[in-house]
Structure 1
């Protein structure tokens, strides 16, 4: 049996993981679009499926790029597309967008609840404090 390093955030619809998992998820799942959250990333062979949606680690006020990435994932989901999103290792930026996606889709009511759900799905998620602060500004009622 193949060990899968990516995970299902929303069953059969939204998958999360790291950059090294792209080929596996595309080979195993019916993914329509891949959001790459890394700042510098190779174009590779996913021209028709890949969307570059960079979030910069350790930068002040990353609200706009985080919000944009969450909105793109939610829009694709609402259009009926199956989604995979990733950063390099699948823990910080991926976790941030996972939390925001869960909140946007009404799967969680608070940032803490969304983070708990995301960590149950992908235990290695570890969102940096500055990303959590950005989420608090983006979702002030969560």
Structure 2
């Protein structure tokens, strides 16, 4: 699987742990930055990851900031992105199984590297259940996205 990853300064250290972890799992990683712990703006890294996912150049994306909140907000503004902010193992599984998320947001200041790695592993390995009720709900989300597309 090809996974795009991006972080701001608050998620830089965790990103530096996650990239080699993903590679040991056999995934190709596209790292869009940032490259240091100096202050940067999270939307500048969320957008390139989301663009790679929506264009099909990456299968999924991972975004990391201090809390994961800013990254998830920015990501979910992009049409076709279903980003979930996850800090526990059950949510990692449920967001793939029920919501078919294509981007994962994590908070470096909330979880440690070990928990982050297990969340990522579960999120990558869990398939979308494709159950009728879940597909119907996602179609309703797409209708909302269509209704508000292009409005400011």
- TM-score range, shorter-chain basis? 0.3 to 0.5
Which has more radius of gyration? 2
Higher relative contact order structure (alpha carbons within 8 Å, sequence separation ≥ 6): 1
TM-score normalised by L of structure 2: 0.36
Structure in which a larger fraction of residues adopt helix: 2
TM-score normalised by L of structure 1: 0.38
